[in-house]
Chains A and B, each alone.
Chain A
Amino acid sequence: MQRRTTLKLAAALLTATMLGGSAYAQETIKLGAVAPKTGPLAGGAAVTHWPNIKLWVEEVNGRGGIDVGGTKMMVEVVEYDDQTNPAETIAAVTRLATQDEADFILAPYSTGLNLAAAPIFDRFGYPQITSTASTDRVAELSGQFNDLFFLLGQNSEIVGDAVEILSKLRDAGTIGNKVAMVNVADAFGIELASTAKPIFEAAGFELVYETSYPLGTPDLSPVMKAAKAADPDAFVAWSYPPDTFGLTEQAIIEQLDVGVFYTAVATAFPAFKGRFGAAAEGIMGIGGVNADSEAFQDYAKRHMDATGAAPDYWASGMMYASLQILEQAITGAGTLDRETVTQYIKDNAFETVMGTVEFDDNNNNPSYWTVGQWQGDAFRGVASTGREGVVDVKLKEGWE
């Protein structure tokens, strides 16, 4: 019993010391970061989310910190792994707000985890500038949560633009009318597939093969064989990283002969090109960037130098842009007061690596990339809602 009391005392003392530590006069800006380091989405976060935080913090501190009302303040980041578990995300955001007393909290990773954490950000009054969340409920959500911002875009536009590209190719007579569409049986894949189906049908396409498969399916060859047997002119998959790779590999093995091959998340990853090389040429996917813009090329180079890896061609740039927006808003508002900074984000336009960003009345970024395509060494944007640098679509010609 005695030992237990001693232990309790020690624990209490330790906690007190840790809490006491944050009482000193503020010289640094404390930022909280929560995202997966383990769990199913860790692979994606390791490409898109964490490297940008590392890069940005290095850069900001390298130039002496963020200018807050004339004083330069260094940036310090407290990182938590949410294990791709929404409950952990919520716990970590709460902890950052109450225990760590973070000045700002960076938005979590992915649509699901961001939406799970939105009420907590809202309750504690933290701006949440999401760069990896894509939903069609933007208007509803921003009405509900005043400080929630969306950079990445809306699903209906992402799907709509993909169908539009197919329609144009068909109307030009370069591909036929038959589409094979598959999706991963997970919130993301189901939402996109159910959005896409009526749009495809309204555009007059015939869905010759349609199926879903569970996340983590070890062998996608039955899916690809059945798709091939349906003899489609275009193959569209609303897929997640492991199956994006798996479907593409099976398509190569089956030598699927289509004019359009589209896979969703991870098509824009450098690892995709790294794995498939020349076979990646002409493959389309979600996202895209203006790969030829100076701002992006400069960013890509800094990303490479600081983290040893290239950024992806979709959300990486947006993630970095969200950090730039936060920095510019803090400097512009001249204070660490979160309400003032949030208002500043709503009222102003920001220069980022992805171009100028100005949020609309729904806190949504109205101009973003929707469809990209591997052309040469880059995944170039072939459709956007108002970004510069859109390039022409090419047909998928073979797998060599």
Chain B
Amino acid sequence: MDILITGLLLGGTYALIAMGLNLQYGIARIMNLANGEMLVAGGFAAFWFWTAGQISPLLTIFLVAPVAFVANWLIYRIMLRPLVKRAKSRGQLEVDSILATFGLAFVSVGLMLAVFGGDYFSYSHLARPVHILGDTYALNRLTAFLAAVVICGALYLWLNLSRPGVSIRAIAVSPESARLVGIDVPKLAAIAFALGGAVTATGGALISMFFTLDASTGVLFTLKALVIVIMGGVGDVRGTIVAALLLGIMETFVASAIDPGLTLAAAYLLFVLILLFRPQGLFGRRGT
């Protein structure tokens, strides 16, 4: 039970890390390698507000999210839109966007170094024990988990029930056909990309409560997010959530029951197994 809850909490954290990338890659078709940097930037904002005025990250996210939304929308419009326009196929767009965002990642790291410095930004918020069913858990991780539930739930409902949500899902399935039925693909793709960035930055602000970040840790999160998105299936919110929870429980189980040294091995074993038996991911669609 302890393992299950600890694993769920970690899975919630992973969902926060990966959800934004799923929106960006699955819908806007941009394999954003600068995703981790956006996360770190969100974390830094939370750190800065906390140290400057003891403002809780739970409030900071209401500022971080819109700012990140606008920033990502601009990145998409200025930097990525030309790539989308000239791309003849999905494959070409992927290669181009990987190269472009790889560069963006370096620029972001450089900018963050210049602005924040290279020091660790580490603070403690809600690092209190809470007792659930007789075991202790960190309040900040529980909070992040609840936030993940709210964010993922809202995204899921919005994508499935609202008209723009359904249009966005249509783009995820087939951008060409979506245009034929009168969906403004460029506009909605930009919104999906911006939304993904906002979710990522919000996640960063939340996980900075318990992760020690510095300007160049972004790439670690990009990798993790990539693994989760691919495991879950590109472009499916449910897939990302399930994959994140699965990974969290798996890692916690291995760390508790076998050996903490094997968590990485176990995570990648799971990844390899899923790729072998369901290459399109848990909820992915076969072959396009």
**A contact set with B: CB distance below 8 Å:** 37-40, 42-43, 45-47, 50, 182, 185, 211-214, 216-223, 225-226, 241-242, 245-246, 249-250, 252-255, 266, 269, 271, 274-277, 309
Which of B68-76, B177-185, B259-267 is found at the contact surface with chain A?
B259-267
> Which of B6, B119, B123, B220 is A221 in contact with, Cβ under 8 Å?
B6
**Which of the segments B53-61, B188-196, B210-218 contacts the partner chain?**
B210-218
B90 contacts A by Cβ under 8 Å: no
Would you mind naming 13 contact pairs between A and B with Cβ atoms under 8 Å apart?
A43-B118, A43-B119, A211-B259, A216-B220, A221-B141, A241-B120, A245-B212, A246-B212, A252-B127, A253-B128, A253-B138, A254-B129, A275-B122
> How far does the alpha carbon of A221 sit from the alpha carbon of B124 in the complex, in Å?
16
Residue numbers in A under 8 Å from B119 (CB-CB): 43, 46-47, 271, 309
Q: Closest Cβ of chain B: how far from A4's Cβ, in Å?
A: 22
Chain B: which residue is nearest A272 at the CB level?
B122
Q: Is A213 in contact with B118, judged by CB distance below 8 angstroms?
A: no
Minimum CB–CB distance from B227 to chain A (whole Å) comes to: 12
Pair A218/B211 contact, Cβ less than 8 Å: yes
Query: Footprint of A on B, CB under 8 Å?
Result: 2-3, 6, 9-10, 13-14, 109, 113, 117-120, 122-124, 127-129, 136-138, 141, 210-212, 214-217, 220, 224, 248, 251-252, 255-256, 259-261, 263-264
> How near does chain A come to B197, taking the closest CB pair, in angstroms?
22
User: Besides the contacts A46-B120, A46-B214, A222-B256, what 15 more A-B pairs have beta carbons closer than 8 Å?
Assistant: A37-B113, A42-B113, A43-B119, A45-B118, A50-B118, A218-B224, A219-B10, A222-B6, A245-B122, A245-B212, A249-B127, A252-B127, A255-B129, A271-B120, A275-B123
Which residues of A have CB within 8 Å of B6? 219, 221-222, 225
Contact call A276/B129, Cβ cutoff below 8 A:
no
Given A37-B113, A242-B211, A218:B255 Cβ within 8 A: no
> B216 touches which one: A42, A220, A254, A269 (CB < 8 A)?
A42
A217 in contact with B263 (CB, 8 Å) = yes
CB distance from A123 to the nearest CB of B (A): 30
B138 close to A43 (CB less than 8 A): no
Report the bound CA distance from A16 to B6 in whole Å. Answer: 61
Assess whether A46 is in contact with B117, with CB atoms less than 8 Å apart: yes
- What distance in Å separates the Cβ of A195 from its nearest Cβ neighbour in chain B? 18
A221 to B253, CA, bound (A): 12
Residues of A within 8 A of B216 (CB): 38-40, 42-43
Q: Which residue of B lies closest to A182 (CB)?
A: B260
Q: Which of A40, A211, A226, A275 has the most CB of B within 10 A?
A: A275
Q: What is the CA–CA distance of A253 and B128 in the complex, to the nearest angstrom?
A: 6
Nearest Cβ in chain B — how far from A197, in angstroms? 15
Shortest Cβ distance from residue A41 to the other chain B in the assembled complex, whole angstroms = 9
Measured CA separation A47–B120 after assembly (Å): 8
Q: Determine if B118 and A46 form an interchain contact, defined as CB atoms under 8 angstroms apart.
A: yes
Q: In whole Å, how far is A225's beta carbon from the nearest beta carbon of chain B?
A: 7
- Are B136 and A213 in contact, with the CB atoms below 8 A? no
Residues of A within 8 A of B224 (CB): 218
Shortest beta-carbon distance from B247 to chain A in Å: 10
Interfacial chain A residues near B10, Cβ < 8 Å = 218-219
- In the assembled complex, the CB of B75 is this many whole angstroms from the nearest CB of chain A, namely 21
A214–B261 contact, CB under 8 A?
yes
- Which chain A residues lie closer than 8 Å to B3 at the CB level? 222
How distant is the Cα of A352 from the Cα of B118 in the complex, in angstroms? 26
Q: Once the chains are docked, how many angstroms separate the CA of A174 from the CA of B3? A: 34
Complex Cα gap A249–B140 (Å): 11
The reply to whether A38 and B109 contact each other, CB–CB distance below 8 Å, is: yes
Q: Across the interface, do B138 and A250 meet the contact criterion of CB distance under 8 Å?
A: yes
Choose one: A39, A222, A241; the contact of B212 (CB below 8 Å): A241
Q: Determine the chain B residues whose CB is within 8 A of the CB of A37 once the complex forms.
A: 113, 118
Are B113's CB and A38's CB within 8 A? yes
The answer to whether B214 and A43 have CB atoms under 8 Å apart is: yes
Smallest distance from the beta carbon of A226 to chain B beta carbons, Å?
7
Q: How far is the CA of A276 from the CA of B251 in the complex (A)?
A: 27
A211 & B2 in contact (Cβ 8 Å cutoff): no
Supposing A37-B118, A245-B122 touch, asked if A253 and B263 sit within 8 A by C-beta, the answer is no
Residues of B within 8 A of A242 (CB): 120, 211-212, 217
Are the CB atoms of A219 and B251 closer together than 8 Å?
yes
Pair A211/B260 contact, Cβ less than 8 Å: yes
Chain B residues lying within 8 Å of A269, measured Cβ to Cβ, are 120
Contact among B109, B118, B136 for A254, CB-based, below 8 A: B136
* Chain B residues whose CB sits within 8 angstroms of the CB of A217 once the complex forms: 255, 260, 263
Contact in complex: B129, A225 (CB < 8 Å): no
Q: Which of B117, B118, B210, B255 contacts A222 (CB 8 A)?
A: B255
